[in-house]
Structure 1
């Protein structure tokens, strides 16, 4: 059995900026600060880490109540923003066909490993009709540290483990060095895709077992997942 854990943003889809815009709008509404996330790189980060950095940059005390208010309004605005006609909003090449192919294979089970809060992930995936592929996952809601998410995802993976699958039977698919790192620290495999902000060379240098321009070569990717040890 192979367990394939997907990142969302930059890997499966580009929201067109819906997530970032919803965060900036929320920040401005709550704190009267424009461009509250200026200078903060979001690629490969968990949502809790992103807002923690913004709060620190603007000397805001992140009490539990403030964080809850932020998340509630962010989810509302994300649900609105994801429906807007952003020029860059898209599904990346090969993604739909790859998800179909992996979902049909009896020796592969798919889940999520994403820095999004779980509700944010649901909103994005539902818009693109991708939520139907994933019955479990680990999210930014579970830990601010992406490196802690893989064991959480595996605990939620409800499969028959009589054959004793190991971490080398787990493949993390993502678009940043952080995705690669969160796989390698647990001795899992990292398949990196250069559809985000990093090149194939960047991703190989970060330790990826396989790095590709995109996910369009579905048959080769499926075979690599099944044969790689």
Structure 2
């Protein structure tokens, strides 16, 4: 979950609706600003692109996450990106796709608002004082965490899938309500932005593979200023286990980058043993980083292809990612 499919999504509205904690609704968290909005026929609507910092052999333009919710139609029938969306081109030189865990890898782990949102949603939907308490959260998916929390209350989540899905929705809305633009920028771990910039310049495809529910993960990335580096991803409310999550992420990358990625050419970057084991389960390579609750020794016991104390040495990490 916060220790660690399908493009990223966000909701944008023009005003702040009246809200109560028991029935939270979403309003916009401004993410990025863009200029020179491109006007096109609605039938061909896609986000406009800007050129990468260095020329790359193969460039494809894609709709940034969840295009249907990221565009608006003008009175003349043309379409434009919705306010607060950043459009960009995706260029890739390699067959490699890097799958980044979120909490503990890109951002500092242990988000208290995520926990509060989770417990609030469980109370609203199930009317129970379900608490995450001492549950092991590192490397876990939000769906699985919800099932375990409910099981402690004598409830079987597998028999009430619709209400569990409602928990995920309310949790996402609560989180967006509580975390504003820029409030997670100081949660970005050392070396992350430099690494992402260099991967983009080198033409390496990047997607997020997070145990957090989609709306929570999207809000975290937006608030941290990292959304533009991850045009797609897979999330903890859309998979039952982490190997499936990674498969979803590779599939999402293929749709966005418009090329097939073999699982053997996927490289997982994560901070828990669960990340290493899941990568091995699908035949992917894995780079472990000890920026979460597990030490380098803990991670090395699982046999990653490479491990680092943090992502501060971007060149070394990129070398490990590209090493086939």
The farther-off stretch of 109-118 and 48-57 is: 109-118
Q: Which runs of 5+ in 1 are unaligned?
A: none
Q: Does 1:13 align with 2:107?
A: yes
Q: Is the 8 A contact 1:5 1:172 kept in 2?
A: yes
How far apart, in 2, do the equivalents of 1:188 and 1:165 lie?
A: 11
Aligned partner of 2:97 in structure 1 is 3
Which among 40, 54, 59 is matched to residue 149 of structure 2? 54
Aligned partner of 1:146 in structure 2 is 242
1:212: Cα distance to partner?
1.2
Provide closer, same or farther for how the CA distance between residues 25 and 223 of structure 1 changes in structure 2, counting only shifts above 3 A: same
Q: Deviations over 1:48-101 (max 9, x none)?
A: 0000000101112431342133122211211133349999x6111101111111
Q: Does 1:157 align with 2:253?
A: yes
Provide closer, same or farther for how the CA distance between residues 146 and 14 of structure 1 changes in structure 2, counting only shifts above 3 A: same
Secondary structure at the counterpart of residue 18 of structure 1: helix
The farther-off stretch of 78-87 and 114-123 is: 78-87
Secondary structure at the counterpart of residue 41 of structure 1: coil
Which among 205, 209, 214 is matched to residue 301 of structure 2? 205
Q: Deviations over 1:103-123 (max 9, x none)?
A: 1112x1001111122222111
Q: Deviations over 1:149-201 (max 9, x none)?
A: 2222222223465xx86433211001101111111112211111111110000
Provide closer, same or farther for how the CA distance between residues 18 and 84 of structure 1 changes in structure 2, counting only shifts above 3 A: farther
How far apart, in 1, do the equivalents of 2:182 and 2:192 lie?
A: 21
Secondary structure at the counterpart of residue 197 of structure 2: helix
Q: Is the 8 A contact 2:130 2:149 kept in 1?
A: no
1:9: Cα distance to partner?
0.6
How far apart, in 1, do the equivalents of 2:133 and 2:274 lie?
A: 21
The farther-off stretch of 40-49 and 30-39 is: 30-39
Q: TM-score, normalised by structure 2?
A: 0.64
Q: Which runs of 5+ in 2 are unaligned?
A: 1-93
Q: How does 1:108-187 map to 2 (within 5 A)?
A: 108-158=204-254, 159=257, 161=259, 166-187=262-283
More helix by share: 1
How far apart, in 2, do the equivalents of 1:37 and 1:165 lie?
A: 36
Aligned partner of 2:20 in structure 1 is none
Give me the CA root mean square deviation.
2.5
Aligned partner of 2:120 in structure 1 is 25
How far apart, in 2, do the equivalents of 1:147 and 1:71 lie?
A: 20
Provide closer, same or farther for how the CA distance between residues 53 and 86 of structure 1 changes in structure 2, counting only shifts above 3 A: farther
How far apart, in 2, do the equivalents of 1:64 and 1:72 lie?
A: 13
Aligned partner of 1:101 in structure 2 is 198
Q: Is the 8 A contact 2:183 2:223 kept in 1?
A: no
Determine which structure has more spread, i.e. the larger CA radius of gyration. Answer: 2
How far apart, in 2, do the equivalents of 1:148 and 1:115 lie?
A: 11
Q: TM-score, normalised by structure 1?
A: 0.88
Aligned partner of 2:59 in structure 1 is none
Provide closer, same or farther for how the CA distance between residues 58 and 206 of structure 1 changes in structure 2, counting only shifts above 3 A: same
1:34: Cα distance to partner?
4.6
1:223: Cα distance to partner?
1.8
How far apart, in 1, do the equivalents of 2:306 and 2:183 lie?
A: 31
How far apart, in 2, do the equivalents of 1:81 and 1:214 lie?
A: 29
The farther-off stretch of 90-99 and 138-147 is: 138-147
